[in-house]
Amino acid sequence: MPAPTTRTLNDLVTEGWSRLARLYNFPIMQRLAYQPPQDDIIARLKLSGAQRIADVGCGTGIMAARIQRELRPEVVYGCDASPGMLQQAKSRSTHVHWINRHAENLGLPDNSVDAVVSTHAFHFFDHAPALAEFHRILTPGGLLAIVLNNPTGKFAKALQPQAVRGLAYFPTPAEMRTLITAAGFTITAQHPVHRPLPPALIPDILTVARRN
């Protein structure tokens, strides 16, 4: 399981998430921060009729377990590089296939899934290799749906100095479209996540594409 090449501090990130795993499931945090993007993605999956779905950077497995429970597709993979997060995920569902791998090297066969989804994790991935891996495992026409924050203004600049790019980088919506298109996808939609909080607090964007 090789580590990502440009996200040089990714092991630090995934070890950190292992330690935070128990705090992660607080209901209020889940409801305010993480549930709205999951709702948007589950609605897209429902429309697409995808039957083999991979949730990459699945964390404690809340969305992967919801996908399995609410949509009942043929197979759901929950993939994450952090053993601590996956330990929580495993206790959530025995129907999801939990995979402890990096996004850049998921180990699934070529053309084996109809949808790859990811919420609030892509900024940690090594973008081009991860997208190449999603393209490899997806069937032609398969769905890609990624939610990540789009920090704007001074806050964004504070978050993204060169010094922390080994930990995370949040592509802008335009950068997302460029990266995803270059990896062999066609963008079909891009919009802010529907959430009750003002977008300035959690400015996350859903980007949807189809594999060419």
Ligand X SMILES: C[S@@+](CC[C@H](N)C(=O)[O-])C[C@H]1O[C@@H](n2cnc3c(N)ncnc32)[C@H](O)[C@@H]1O
Residues in contact with ligand X by CB under 6 A are 4, 10, 13-14, 17, 34, 57-59, 62, 80-82, 85, 102-103, 119-121, 124-125
Q: What are the tokens at 9?
A: 């501090």
CA–CA separation, 150 and 65 (whole Å): 26
With CB atoms as reference, the residue minimizing the distance to ligand X is 59
Residue with structure tokens 């290799």? 129
Q: CB-hemisphere CA count at 13 Å for 39?
A: 12
What is the number of helices (H) and of strands (E) in the chain? 8, 7
As measured in angstroms, the least distance from the Cβ of 87 to ligand X is 11
Q: Considering the complex, what minimum distance in angstroms separates the CB of residue 184 from ligand X?
A: 20
Residue closer to ligand X by CB (options 10, 48) is 10
Nearer to ligand X, 14 or 207 (CB): 14
Judge whether 86 and 18 are in contact, CB under 8 Å: no
Min separation Cβ 115 and ligand X, Å: 15
Query: Which residue's CB is nearer to ligand X, number 50 or number 202?
Result: 202
Comparing CB distances to ligand X, the nearer of 35 and 48 is 35
Shortest CB 157 distance to ligand X, Å: 21
> To 10 degrees, the CA torsion angle through 112, 60, 179, 194?
110
